[in-house]
Structure 1
């Protein structure tokens, strides 16, 4: 997961970067100008998950206002040096999603970002169930028909984006930007198709129904949803029905 980080004290950036990277976050440090001229890209589809972490400075509240005034709904967390209930309340009232007090721990930052993201998409719990698939939003690999399937880091990023938007069509460009948007190493155009194919094979191999669960909506993108009965491969569908009958007996 990518995050824009404003930390005005240069001496703290290296240790903060290491802490965030160890938790699986990819920090991009920005300056004051980010809040004046750098917010427009966050309004593009696929960018709404990128967190904004704001280190304590005299301009913290103005920066919060700038983000929200630009209509950015990204998770925004203020990183404070000391507890200050009055300042925390003001930051939250102005649009911050959370305030974390030093020492800053990457795992806590990631969990708080994930909490904001899943609620943004209407998921109050730590997971979503789509047919035989249970997708988690806390970094765990999904469970399909009772068995956990192992996903690579990139597969997991793409799958989680689909899971957060389950039963909705997500464009390839939105998925691509959510996964690669801030990377200096932009891969070839078909990379999302390749990973979608891998995900389908892994899900179908684990699902009792044999269903792939990720549907291609031609000209629009992909959708993670439970298949209709008519979409279930007949051999695997029969296998699933026989398995359910055996368990019932």
Structure 2
């Protein structure tokens, strides 16, 4: 997943980015609303983490201006704990609200919950044919067999799992898996896909290469 973090506290931002990176998420960081607007113009995000008090304005005003054309879920981060502040942020389009200082595990849980709601699911599991993919545990299960995935593998498989039957181009995978400040080539995507393909083969899952277009996942092989 690719996140946009809009936060002017560099120390906090660095800590959030490092924590989310452990789960394989790519995070672009903007310290001002103007920078955030540039990010939104150049990329698509799965989730936005939005501070309220920023050098060039109020994050809630930014949210209100963009909400009508912005389908990306937004979690507001702020030191304000009054009920009226929380209600105001939610009424302006926030999907959730977390008060600083916060525990990173709570932030991660809220991110997962918001993404689940946007995906129309109540659980952390996705069915891939006869295989159960647990996004939280990072495991695949089938017929009593369990396969543990690494963080980057989890995020890559999640992209395929959320788009069953669809062809995902290399450029799309690059955009979803890596932030602006990460240099990556299409060859690197081929390597990541190849590694994942070899690992999930034992669970009866296949990643098909569609020449000239990209990749798509197949399920139910060897049923």
> Would you say the 8 A contact 1:76–1:97 is kept in 2?
yes
Which structure features the higher share of strand residues?
A: 2
| 2:197 corresponding residue in structure 1 | 200
Alignment gaps of 5+ in structure 1: 241-249
Task: Select the structure with the greater relative contact order (CA < 8 A; seq sep ≥ 6).
Answer: 2
> Would you say the 8 A contact 1:134–1:142 is kept in 2?
yes
How do 1:165-204 and structure 2 match up within 5 A? Answer: 165-186=163-184, 188-204=185-201
2: CA distance between counterparts of 1:163 and 1:146? 21
Change in Cα spacing, 1:121 to 1:151, as seen in structure 2 (3 Å) is same
2: CA distance between counterparts of 1:169 and 1:2? 19
| 1:245 corresponding residue in structure 2 | none
Could you state the TM-score of these two structures normalised by the residue count of structure 1? 0.74
Change in Cα spacing, 1:67 to 1:110, as seen in structure 2 (3 Å) is farther
**1:56 matches 2:52:** yes
Rg larger for: 1
| 2:216 corresponding residue in structure 1 | 223
Could you state the TM-score of these two structures normalised by the residue count of structure 2? 0.82
Alignment gaps of 5+ in structure 2: none
Count of equivalent residues: 216
Root mean square deviation, CA, Å: 2.6
2: CA distance between counterparts of 1:201 and 1:218? 19
1: CA distance between counterparts of 2:65 and 2:59? 10
| 1:247 corresponding residue in structure 2 | none
